[in-house]
Amino acid sequence: MKPPAAPAHARQARSFGQQAVAFLVFVAGYFLLGMAGVQLQSAQTGVTPIWPASGFAFAMVYWFGSRQLIAILPAMLMLGWVLGVPPAVAAMSAAGSMLEAGVPAYLLHRFAVDPGLRHLRDALLFVVLVPVLGPVFSATVGSMAFHVLGGSRFDLWHLWLLWWLGNSVGLLLVGGFGLVVVARRSLRVERSARASLLVACAAVTAITALGLLQVTEISSPLVLYLLIPVFVFIAQRGDQFPVLLLSVVALAVTLLSAIWLPPESLAQTRLGVFYLDVSLLWIVTFTAMMISSARQEVHAREQISWLASHDPLTRMLNRHAVMERLDDLLSRARSGAGPNVLMYLDLDRFKDINDTEGHVAGDQVLRDIGVLLGEEVRAADTVARLGGDEFAVLLEDCSLLDACSIAENVRSAVERYEYAGARGRHRVEVSIGLLELSGEHASAEDAMHEVDSACYDAKRGGRNRVCVYSKAHRADGA
């Protein structure tokens, strides 16, 4: 019986409460990340080479809706008050930031972009719409506000460019991370990948810190080039989360570098080495994201191709694959090749296990029987699950006499098999039909029909036996 649905006013109240909490988190998060970003700002204009708050704002708007955009205004006014920025400039900058977060979020929904960025198309659209297009709004509105209302004497074009760069880095790294983590619904990684991810995080921390320690020298970006193989190594696994996690680690180290960076490294009279380092971090992240998405697409295609010819339960070949191989053997048989034999197996008393122990136990029995078949036949033979509790084996270059011996070994092995379930121990048996393939068979379907009738004769003759198909429809025990 379903519980009664909550009243409409209760659902609205709950939604309002969630929105209120999200609003407060938005304001606090934007302010704190803004304060982290301004640690790298230039005293000349207040523009910082990295603005992580932009990515946080985008992720909040994407997941909680455009109503949250207004949270940028109080957060920006608070930042302006702390930094001594005129309220009019802070308000104008907030308007640009609202466009920066709201327009890309709307466009991602409009173009049905997968927030997990699992496909190359989605990753490319994210980069174009969010870290490339989004900062155009904030950089344009904000730099004009600083230039006109703030009385900045800094060159407008360079101010715009630095504003765009700082917000773009924040949108790519923090925004991408916020998008993927929520879409992924888990921070876990595969156990086999944990050690390599930890090593990669340590390597990124060391490389970024070492590079920034030399920020006044051209060797700084040369050191940061070492990030490329680390990111590529992680990206080839085809998961965006570890890639963006490494980017956030590099971002955190960069923000902490304000402790030791010399003042001249942030001088905005020219684009110095530090800004080259920031740009390099953007490029490395973008490259790794594209590699990860491309690898996921390749893996998805490989999985589809594998599923087209394999049974997902037992991981054996499926009916489609064995029929294709059977057609090939029949074509060769018409040209005189051979001998080849088709074996058809149908489990006996399998339904009893399903009824007694459940389908989970039945699935395990099917997997066990699949393994057993692979062990009893020759390595060159083709083993497949046709469906249900039916299997087939193609015995190539095998005489009928040898096939009978192999079939008897299989029957005996299945008879010895025992499944220990919650309600006792269970045994199964198998009825097997054999068919010697020849050029007389018109198609794989005809051959399968004939060997199926031999298996049926085995069942009708008492089950747990091997029968060979004959034109006279006689079941000859082997």
pLDDT above 80 for 368: yes
Of 258, 274, 301, the residue that ends a domain is: 301
Interatomic CA distance for residues 242 and 246, integer angstroms = 6
Six token digits for residue 306:
């594998």
The rounded Cα 162 to chain-centroid distance in angstroms is 34
Interatomic CA distance for residues 348 and 389, integer angstroms = 9
pLDDT above 90 for 225: yes
How much is the pLDDT for 266? 64
How much is the pLDDT for 53? 96
Helix intervals (H) in 335-439: 350-357, 359-376, 400-416
Interatomic CA distance for residues 36 and 163, integer angstroms = 16
Would you place residue 265 in the very low, low, confident or very high pLDDT band (cuts 50, 70, 90)? Answer: low
Does a structural domain hold residue 3? no
Q: In which element (H, E) is residue 358 found?
A: none
Tell me, yes or no, whether 284 and 366 share the same domain: no
Does a structural domain hold residue 1? no
pLDDT above 50 for 397: yes
Is 413 within 8 Å of 393 (Cβ atoms)? no
How much is the pLDDT for 232? 95
pLDDT above 70 for 270: no
Mean pLDDT of 256-260: 83
Tell me, yes or no, whether 283 and 372 share the same domain: no
Six token digits for residue 135:
């900062």
Number of domains in the chain: 2
pLDDT above 50 for 91: yes
Does a structural domain hold residue 109? yes
Mean pLDDT of 70-74: 95
Interatomic CA distance for residues 413 and 421, integer angstroms = 19
Would you place residue 193 in the very low, low, confident or very high pLDDT band (cuts 50, 70, 90)? Answer: confident
How much is the pLDDT for 218? 82
Bridging pattern class, strands 424-427 and 429-437: unpaired
Would you place residue 424 in the very low, low, confident or very high pLDDT band (cuts 50, 70, 90)? Answer: confident
Is 432 within 8 Å of 458 (Cβ atoms)? yes
Highest mean pLDDT among 12-16, 123-127, 265-269: 123-127
CATH of the domain at 423: 3.30.70.270
Closest CA to 51 of 172, 150, 147, 141: 172
How much is the pLDDT for 42? 57
Does a structural domain hold residue 2? no
Interatomic CA distance for residues 461 and 459, integer angstroms = 5
> Residue 19 CB: number of other CB atoms within 10 A?
15
How much is the pLDDT for 452? 94
Write out the residue range of the structural domain in which residue 82 sits: 8-301
Say whether 72 sits in a helix, a strand or coil: helix
Is 333 within 8 Å of 442 (Cβ atoms)? no
How much is the pLDDT for 46? 54
Tell me, yes or no, whether 97 and 213 share the same domain: yes
Tell me, yes or no, whether 450 and 398 share the same domain: yes
Does a structural domain hold residue 307? no
Tell me, yes or no, whether 57 and 151 share the same domain: yes
Mean pLDDT of 90-98: 93
Task: Give the residue with greater pLDDT, 160 vs 54.
Answer: 54
- The mean of the pLDDT values for the chain is 88
Tell me, yes or no, whether 211 and 105 share the same domain: yes
Is 166 within 8 Å of 174 (Cβ atoms)? no
Type of residue found at 461: G
CA atoms within 13 A on the CB side of 415: 12
pLDDT above 50 for 74: yes
Tell me, yes or no, whether 360 and 427 share the same domain: yes
Does a structural domain hold residue 205? yes
Of 271, 301, 331, the residue that ends a domain is: 301
Tell me, yes or no, whether 182 and 330 share the same domain: no
Of 253, 273, 301, the residue that ends a domain is: 301
Mean pLDDT of 33-57: 81
Tell me, yes or no, whether 201 and 154 share the same domain: yes
How much is the pLDDT for 153? 56
How much is the pLDDT for 61? 95
pLDDT tens-digit readout, 140-190: 998 888 777 655 556 778 888 889 999 999 999 999 999 999 998 887 888
pLDDT tens-digit readout, 427-451: 999 999 999 988 788 889 999 999 9
Tell me, yes or no, whether 268 and 344 share the same domain: no
Tell me, yes or no, whether 292 and 349 share the same domain: no
Does a structural domain hold residue 290? yes
Interatomic CA distance for residues 348 and 459, integer angstroms = 8
Tell me, yes or no, whether 34 and 64 share the same domain: yes
How much is the pLDDT for 260? 77
Q: In which element (H, E) is residue 348 found?
A: strand 340-348
Does a structural domain hold residue 91? yes
How much is the pLDDT for 15? 75
DSSP single-letter state for residue 5: P
Closest CA to 196 of 229, 234, 168, 165: 234
